Amino acid sequence: MKTNLPPPPRDYQKSHQLIGAWMHKHHLSCEHYTHLSISAMDRPLGISEKFQRWIHFFMCSVCRKFTKQIASLRMLVKRHASDLATTKPTDEFLQSLRKELASTTPENSSPNPKPDNSTDG
C-alpha cells in the first residue's frame, strides 16, 4: 500500500521494539487490538478478547487514540448520511408520482377497504 504517512512516535517505536514480540505471542499486538476494537462495533467480544483488548488499551497510547478515531468515524458517517437525507425531491417528480399512483389501482384493497362489498341486508 502506498502511503506518505509518517512512522509512529519515537517512544512508541522504542517500547514496541522491546515488547512487540511478547505482545504478538500473546495476541496483545496493536494489530490485534485494532481488529478487536473494530469488531466490537459489530458483535459482542468474547471474554478473552475483552481481556486482550483491555490489557493493550492500558499499555498503548497510540491505540487508545485510534479507538477515539473510530468512534468519531462512526458519528461522522451518521452525520454525513443524515445531511444527504435532507435532500428534497423536485415538485415535478412528486406531482408525476402522485398522478401515477392515482392512476394505478391497488391490487386488492385500499388501506381502508370499502365496506360495500357486503350485501345490504
Partner 1 sequence: MNQESKIAVDLFMEHAPTLYGYAYSRVRDHHLAEDLVQDTMLSAWKSWDSYQGGSSVLVWLTGIMRHKLLDQWRSNARKPILQHQENEEQEANPAGLFDEQGNWVIDPNHGMASMLQSPAAAAHNADLRKFIALCMAKLPQRMLLLFQAKEVDELSVAEAAEAAGVTPGSAAVLLTRARHSLRLCLQESLMQ
Q: Which residues bind partner 1 (CB under 8 A)?
A: 1, 3-9, 12, 16, 20-21, 23-24, 29-32, 34-35, 38-39, 41-43, 62, 65-66, 68-89, 93-94, 97-98, 100-102, 104, 106-112, 114
Nearer to partner 1, 50 or 101 (CB): 101
Q: What are all long-range contacts of 4-13, with beta carbons under 8 Å and residues at least 24 apart?
A: 8/62, 9/62, 12/60, 12/61, 12/62
Separation of alpha carbons 107 and 103, rounded Å: 12
> In 10 A of CB 27, how many CB atoms?
18
CB of 61 to partner 1, least distance (A): 9
CB of 54 to partner 1, least distance (A): 17
Separation of alpha carbons 64 and 62, rounded Å: 5
CB of 96 to partner 1, least distance (A): 8
